[in-house]
Structures are given as structure tokens and as C-alpha cells.
Structure 1
Amino acid sequence: MASAALRASDSTLENGSLAGVEPNCSPSLVESGEYMLDGPQEEPVYSVFSPGLRRYIVVCASWAGLFSLLSANIYFPALNAMGRDLKVSAWEMNLSITTYMVMQGLAPMFVGDFADTAGKRPAYMACFAIYIAANIGLALQNNFAALLVLRCLQSAGSGATIALASGVVADIAPSAQRGSYIGYTMAGSSTGPSIGPVIGGLLAHYLSWRAIFWFLVIMASVFIIQYSLFCPETSRNIVGNGSIPPPRWNKSLVSYADRHESSQHADRPAMRPQWRIPNPVNAILIVFRKDTMLTLLSNAIIICGYYVIAASIPKIFDEKYGYSEFQIGLCFLPFGVGSAVASIITGYIVDWNYKRIAKEIGYPIQRNKERDLKNFPIEKARLQLTLPLLFVACCSTLVFGWTLQFNVSVAFPLAALFFAGASLLGAFNTLGTLIVDLHPNNAATATAANNLVRCLLGAGATAGILPMVDKLGRGWSFTVVAFGMLTTAPMMLATVYYNPGWRKDQEK
């Protein structure tokens, strides 16, 4: 389905019906230069990769991104069983989630900078080598300390895949298409909360919790083998718009066979990787940029709601309904399905809104071309969708908490989980698209900065949710969570109104 939809998106670009303008738009509009859809192409295309190859690259980025949230969520149904085997409490087992998230925030700062300079392929290969080794260790360990250390290592390998995916999208998709591309790319990671607990519950129930980690070893090995063989380098610092050949050691089979690698399509002279030790300071500097800070903080607070809901499900549903590991895994399905559906749908809506605003202000858009966003209200184009999603997320979180407080059918909290997952991931992806728009030339590093803020806040929230539920009860605890997310509304409004000026100040 994703491939077909991306095919439709590429077809739209090929036929020229971009920015909401049909190919037979009035000649006066075309002559005036308001829409430049079929005029002479003076600038190089944004990406020379064929539509089919771009779809494959997106599938690879989405598949890789799946491991980040899958590794966290496949583990949830087995928390109680692992706690019994390792003789630790539910709160201590939740610490393994917290440490995972802390490392998930720190690792991309190194990997993102490495990917932006050396290329996406070396970064992916290094990440998956670490990830596979960590999962082998997790399958064999027998004590809680080893679990914590190896979960950190596992997170170091998988945590950067979302940052890398955003970087890949920035490499191959201009801003007019970026929302839908990020939506499909994030669809992989957002299916983790739905399929992960089901798979983990099945493996833990019928085999053992150790089988979970062997499953991840096999799945990761299959991915990295096919990726190494077939997926080309996309980093614009290495291959430009795809027309510059990468170094021989960084070539896939596709790169060797690709006839597009020709200087006549090049958007700039070739640049060779400048090897250096990855610098995490670059991501930290982005965190404190005036034109990025509020967006990062808003995104982190919203996704905290997602994390605390997911972390609370095993204990709450075990206590209230007495569910087994497999049944608890099934309870994650509406949460993850809502997340995956929202990733795709909101991506298209974000692109539609971009084109709608471009049409209103006479902003010219060309197919497969990037435009300077200096004078375009990109914040408005992205965040007009986020505020309604925030309202739905807050309401769904309240319903989830209070239906678990009282003796009502399990259908009510499960329905709330669907809407919470859809709205929270939709808002997360929209804000993530804006972050990439603000930093298109170092998108992996910018997304690493996003990971840092959201994971550090998320780690604290995850560690605190169960003690808060024990103290305040389920209803009031999730009321606190909902009102915490609501504080992002004024931040996003300030971003819409003030960030265009802050961007210009930053460029000076």
C-alpha cells in the first residue's frame, strides 16, 4: 500500500499537478510566473534517482526505523516475566526502559554528525553491527546489571535509525513532498508499538523472553544484508542530487549499475567525505538555536505522552484485567495501528497544506525542485495541522486515564488508545517535518537534536509514570499528562508568528 501511494505521489509530480494546480491552469498564471510547472528547467533536479529507486530507499529507511520503537515495544509484554526471572520489581524493570531512552537520545548526536559527513550507508552499517551484537548479548545474559548495559548498547544501535531516516528524506525529497515522504518513512517506526508487543507477547508466552532478542538478531541481519547490497548512498554531501558517484568502497550494486551518475546532471562538484571524529556539539548547538528550540521542546513534550501511555499499559492492564503477556501485547494493537495510519495520512495532509499556502501567496513550485524557504511561512504550513492533533491527543489521554479509573468495558480505553496513538504520532511527525525543513543540509544532525530532547524528557516521564499512578491514581495521573501536553499550544503559536523572523536573524 505504501509503495502504491508513493507511486501515486511520484506520478503527480511527473504529470505536473503540483501545489494544487492542474496541468491545464490558465496561461496567464503560467506566463506571470506564479506557477512554473512546465517551463524550462534551468536548475538541476533535486534528485536524479528514479521514482522506483526513491520508493525503495524510503522502504529501507522505514524498515530501519522500525527497529527503534520495535526494540522498545516488543519488550513490554515480557516485562513482568523478565522481572520474575531476574528477581527485580516492576519499577526496576521500567528503569531498563528509561536507560534505553536516554541512550536513544545520546547516540544519534554522534551518528547523525557522522552520517552527514561520511554518508548514510556507513552510518547504517555501523549502527546495525552494534545492534545485532547487543541483541545476542541480551539473549544470553542472566542478571539485571547486564540487562541495563546491553539495553543501552541495543539503543545505541537502533536509536539513530529515525534520525538517519529523516536525513534520507531530506536527501531525496524537496520540501513540497517532504511531509508525505516523512510520513511513509516514519510509518515503519510507528508500527513498532502495534506489532512489537504482539510478537513479543507470542514469543514470551510460547517460548521465552530470550526468543525476543534472537528474533531481533535474525530480522536485523536480513535487513542489513539486503541494504548493503542494493541501497545506494543518498547523502547530498557525498553524492549531491545522486549524480555524483560515491567512493568505490561505499557503492552498492545499484550504484555500480546506475547510469544517472554523470556530471551532466550534477548539482555541484563532487565532494569527498571529510573523515573526522563525530561531534555531538553540533546537535547540542541546534537544540539552543532560537529558531529551533520551541519546536524541539514542543515535540518532546508531546511525545512524552506517547511514551508514558505505552510504558503504563503492561502494569495497568495486568492489575486491572489480569491479562497474560500475549493479551497485553494485543492491547497495544489499537495504539500502534492508530500511529501507523496517522503517519501516512498526516504526511499527505501536511503536503497538501504546504501547496495550499504556496498557491495563496503565489509561491512558485516546480516538480522535483527545491525552493528557498527564506520568505515562505513554513512554520504556518506545518503547524496548522499540529494544533488540532494536540487537542485530540489531550482528550484521548484524559479518556484513557479515567476509563481505567472506573469499572468500564476494556473497549473504552482501547478506543482511546487508537485516537491517542494517531494524534500523538501525527503531531510528532508534523513537528519532525518542520525540523527537517529548518535544517535540510544537516537533517540527520537536526533530528539527532530532536532525539536528544525528546528521549531525555521521555526517559524522566517514563520513570515517573508508575509511581505517579500509584500515588494519584490512573485518572488524575493522565490528567496531569494531558495538561502537560497542552502547554505546547502557546509554544507552537509563538513559533508560527515569530519563527520566520528568528530564522532571518539566525542567517545573519
Structure 2
Amino acid sequence: MQAAPNEKLSKEEESKPTEAAKAETGTDTGVALTKMDTNAARNRFSRGRKQVILGVVGLVGTLGPLSSSIYNPSLLQVESDLHTSITLVNATVSVFMCMMGLAPLIWGPLSDQIGRRKVCIISIAIYVAASIGCGFSPNIVCLLVMRIVQSAGGSSFGAIGAATVADLFDEHERGTAMGVVYVGLYLGPVTGPIIGGFLADAYGWRSIFWFLSCLGGLMLLSVVLLFPETSSKDFSKIKFQPSAINPFIPLSYLLHIEVLLSTIYPAFLFGLYFFTITVLPIQFPSKYHLSTGMVGLCFLGPGLGNVLGTTIGGRYTDYISHKMTLHNNGKREPEMRLHAIWPACVMIPVGLLLFGWSLQYDVQFIVPLLGLLINAVGLTVIQTATNTYLVDIYSKNAASVIGSFNFLRLSVFATVMPLFSVQMAEGLGDGLCMTVWAAIASVFVLFSVLVAFVLGPRRKAKSSPAQLAFGA
């Protein structure tokens, strides 16, 4: 396995362990001391305190995803009020999603320089200011700029959340914790249109941003009061290095074969998820004669799937990892988590086919929503397992490696794939369109198979004991 920047222990460090490390562990490696320091840092917080911190991270993590889609039902209002084109209005949605993948490439390395807590406070303050700016925007150019800034401020927890899990939890607990952290990433896009639709109908599109400003203020208060610094580093002794805040450093993780191959499949599925929820509000009103409010409520289908997937997926990946560890003479390997995705890989094409063909033949609207629910469960199980796998192998730089994953799924797949969703669905028909995507998804799963069954064993055979340690 290739090591990430600053993660390998030097030969000198490995050859000169401290006496404390030897006495405590009976080993003669510098890795022992690192693990002792990390465990001591995790023991600073009680189990209840960790759950509170995890809850704050999960709640604040909804800001960016919620804001990405909350004003989608009011796009026509924005077009009329700002006297612009629907193309430019749609651009405010696309640039928001793109920036959600780009900004964590800065926030992640910055959190390793100044700490998680400071980054969270700064980023949410930026989010609140930009949300107010969106509400006061006099023209589409101003709204476009403010949406970019709003996205940058609201997306920090995409990287900080994973780093916090690595800070607080041992390997066998991370799957469950990761499920809690990332529930907002999947709930936000489906609950946003419900809230935004009713706000826009009652008070106009600008009220959506007043709501987001107030919500951001509450989140900022919760971070100030309830979110301590979780990193084990003493930042008072770390000299700030601007050169380290380089977005290309997190992106370099995608050059590592195990990162690239393990993230392509879930990143593609994330883009496909946004493809389907873009089709939903276009097709459902005409096929089922539903009002705007009712169409918004239909997003509860995939939303429920996301909740089930994150709840089940986190615990299931911990269970599979623990079970395989017992069969491996007590030796835990990161790739064991990826074996939790196989049932979910079957759910993806099943959900897509059910959604597409029931929509094609105008079957009662509950049926295509059931397809979206099944697809959402499969998606979130796969995402949770992949996130936890990446944190396990790069725990010291979890924020950066998850930042690279977020770039791939948000700035690439989730930004590009919805752009041609309506044209593809109308051109091929809903059934054939989803059949094509189901077939492609079934091929993409081979990348994860390679990591679990080929690269993992090869990495174990070639790596030293120090490199095999989690986070080494």
C-alpha cells in the first residue's frame, strides 16, 4: 500500500522506540508510541461525551447537502424575480455542488494545521454570512457568487466529520460512528426540497435563505458550546505552514491505487443517486398529477432509505469486520470492511430497475418510490463502508483522504450526471434508461472486488508490520 504524505514512520523513528513504549507494549517499534498517544487522546472523552460530539458533527453536516437542493422547487420564482434565464438559475445549483467537492480539499489540510474546532467555527460563520447575502441578492450574478461562498462554508464537515471519527473512535467502532456522521450527506438533498417548497409557496424564495441563515446560526452556537478540539495534536506547538494548505495534496490520494479503485464505484453511485432524484420532480407531476408539495413529500422515500442505510450500514460493516477478524486469528485488516457491501451491490440494480420500469408503465407512484428507497439503502451502506475503510488505512490524515473522495463524488459525478438526466430519461424512456445505469453499476462493482480480493492480500504480502498498522 502506498503511504500518504506524512504518514510513514521514518526508519530512525522505528529504530529508536522509547522505553515507555517498550514497557507498555513489549514491542520495539515507534508505532507503539504513536498508538499509545492516540489511545490516550481518545480516552479524554467519556462515551457519552463522544456521542454528543458525534451528534453535533452529524447535525452540522446537514448544512451543505440541505442547502444544495432546498431551493430547487423555487427555481422558477428566482427566474422571474431576478429577470434572468432558467439556465443561469440552474447554474447556481451546479456551482454549489461543485464547490462542495472542492472546498474540503482546503478545509481538510487546514484542520490538520489549526485544529478541527477552529475550522468548523470559521466555515460555519462564512456559511451564515453567505446565506444572508443570498437572501439579499439583487441579481443573478450576486446570487451565483454568494452560492459559491455558501457552499464553501457549508462543506467543511464533509472532511472534518471523518477526521473526528478517526480522532475519537477505535477501528472496531468506526463503522457505526461513520453512519451517524454521514446521515446528513444523504438526508439533506431529499429533505431540502420538502422544506424549500413549503417556504417558497408561503413566503417566497428569499425566505429559504433566511431560514438557512437562522439554521446556520444555531449550528454555529452548537459547535461553540458542544464541539471541543478532538485531535490529539498540540496545535500550539505546530508552526502554521501555508504551503501545506494545498488542494493538490488531498487530490494526490487518488493516485494511490487502493483509494482510486475503492472510491470510483461509490462515487459513481452517488452521482447516479442525484440523477434519479433529478428525474423525480420532472416525471412525477406529469405522470401522477401531483402538486408541488406532494412531489416534495415523495422525497421521503429515498430519505427513509438513507436513514435505514446509514443506521444498518455502519453497524453491519463493524459486524463483518469483527467476524472476519475472528476468522483471521484476531488480525484486523482494513479491506475486511469492504465485504459488507456485497448485499448492497445487489440492491442497487434491483432498486434502479424497479424505479425505471414502474415509472415507464405508470404503476402506482408508491412502487417507483420503493425502488428509490431500495437504491438509497444500498447506496448508503456502500458509502459508509468505503468511508470507514479509507479512515482505517489513513486515520492520521482522514480529513484529506475523505476530501479527495468528496471531490470525486461531488465535484465530478454528482455535478455532471444530473446535467443530462432529463434528456437521457426522455430519450431512452425511464425503463431503458435505468436498465443502462443498472448494467453500468454492475460493472463498476468490479473495482471494489479488486480492492477486497486482490490489492488487499497483495498489500499485506508486501508491506512491513509498521505499514500494516491502521493509519500507518
SS at match of 1:236: coil
Distance 1:113 1:138 in 2: 28
Distance 2:46 2:206 in 1: 42
Residue 300 (1) aligns with residue 255 (2)? no
Change (3 A) 1:163 1:397: same
Distance 1:476 1:144 in 2: 37
1:451 Cα deviation after fit: 0.7
CA contact (8 A) 1:439 1:446 kept: yes
Which stretch shows the higher mean deviation, 57-66 or 72-81? Answer: 72-81
SS at match of 2:371: helix
SS at match of 2:242: coil
Unaligned runs of 5+ residues in structure 2 are 1-34
CA contact (8 A) 2:313 2:380 kept: no
Residue of structure 2 aligned with 1:205, choices 196, 201, 208: 201
Distance 1:404 1:273 in 2: 58
Runs of 4+ aligned structure 1 residues displaced above 6 Å come to none
Distance 2:136 2:367 in 1: 39
Distance 2:117 2:239 in 1: 12
CA contact (8 A) 1:117 1:237 kept: no
- Residue aligning to 1:324: 291
Change (3 A) 1:407 1:290: closer
1:87 Cα deviation after fit: 5.2
- Residue aligning to 2:279: 312
- Residue aligning to 2:122: 126
Q: Percent identity?
A: 28
1:76 Cα deviation after fit: 2.7
Distance 1:144 1:279 in 2: 31
* TM-score normalised per structure 2: 0.85
Residue of structure 2 aligned with 1:406, choices 340, 344, 361: 361
- Residue aligning to 1:439: 394
Change (3 A) 1:399 1:86: farther
Residue of structure 1 aligned with 2:163, choices 142, 151, 167: 167
- Residue aligning to 1:283: 250
Distance 1:213 1:493 in 2: 43
CA contact (8 A) 2:65 2:184 kept: no
1:211 Cα deviation after fit: 1.0
- Residue aligning to 2:409: 454
Unaligned runs of 5+ residues in structure 1 are 1-41, 239-245, 248-270, 365-375
Structure (1/2) with the larger helix percentage: 2
- Residue aligning to 1:345: 312
Which stretch shows the higher mean deviation, 192-201 or 417-426? Answer: 192-201
Change (3 A) 1:43 1:112: closer
Deviations, residues 27-75 of structure 1 (Å, cap 9, x unaligned) = xxxxxxxxxxxxxxx9463512111110111011101111121111322
CA contact (8 A) 2:165 2:174 kept: yes
Letter in 1 for 2:319: W
- Residue aligning to 2:442: 486
CA contact (8 A) 2:266 2:379 kept: no
Letter in 2 for 1:423: G
- Residue aligning to 2:385: 430
Distance 2:153 2:264 in 1: 24
Deviations, residues 427-452 of structure 1 (Å, cap 9, x unaligned) = 11111111111210000001100011
Distance 1:105 1:68 in 2: 11
CA contact (8 A) 2:306 2:376 kept: yes
Distance 1:393 1:91 in 2: 31
The CA RMSD measured in Å over matched residues stands at 2.3
Which stretch shows the higher mean deviation, 185-194 or 326-335? Answer: 185-194
Deviations, residues 360-406 of structure 1 (Å, cap 9, x unaligned) = 11216xxxxxxxxxxx4321x21222122122112111211222222
Which structure 2 residues correspond to residues 33-432 of structure 1 after superposition, within 5 A?
Answer: 43=36, 45=39, 47-48=42-43, 49-86=45-82, 92-238=88-234, 247=236, 271-272=237-238, 274-277=240-243, 278-363=245-330, 376-379=332-335, 381-432=336-387
Letter in 1 for 2:327: E
Letter in 1 for 2:50: R
Change (3 A) 1:323 1:94: farther
CA contact (8 A) 1:190 1:339 kept: yes
1:229 Cα deviation after fit: 2.8
- Residue aligning to 1:36: none
- Residue aligning to 2:16: none
Letter in 1 for 2:391: V
SS at match of 1:274: coil
CA contact (8 A) 1:94 1:462 kept: no
Change (3 A) 1:169 1:285: same
Distance 1:149 1:390 in 2: 39
SS at match of 1:487: helix
Letter in 2 for 1:383: L
CA contact (8 A) 1:78 1:325 kept: no
CA contact (8 A) 2:52 2:226 kept: no
Letter in 1 for 2:218: V
1:143 Cα deviation after fit: 3.1
Change (3 A) 1:82 1:320: farther
CA contact (8 A) 1:350 1:385 kept: yes
1:319 Cα deviation after fit: 3.1
- Residue aligning to 1:373: none
Distance 2:372 2:52 in 1: 31
CA contact (8 A) 1:394 1:486 kept: yes
Which stretch shows the higher mean deviation, 324-333 or 75-84? Answer: 75-84
Deviations, residues 239-280 of structure 1 (Å, cap 9, x unaligned) = xxxxxxx65xxxxxxxxxxxxxxxxxxxxxxx5353435111
CA contact (8 A) 2:56 2:222 kept: no
CA contact (8 A) 1:194 1:336 kept: yes
CA contact (8 A) 2:132 2:210 kept: yes
SS at match of 2:182: helix
* TM-score normalised per structure 1: 0.79
Which stretch shows the higher mean deviation, 497-506 or 215-224? Answer: 497-506
Distance 1:80 1:428 in 2: 33
Residue of structure 2 aligned with 1:464, choices 408, 412, 420: 420
CA contact (8 A) 1:118 1:275 kept: no
1:479 Cα deviation after fit: 2.2
Change (3 A) 1:313 1:91: farther
Deviations, residues 401-425 of structure 1 (Å, cap 9, x unaligned) = 2222222211111211211221112
Which stretch shows the higher mean deviation, 423-432 or 69-78? Answer: 69-78
Distance 1:53 1:273 in 2: 30
- Residue aligning to 1:30: none
CA contact (8 A) 2:350 2:374 kept: no
Distance 2:162 2:398 in 1: 6
1:88 Cα deviation after fit: 5.6
- Residue aligning to 2:24: none
Letter in 2 for 1:305: L
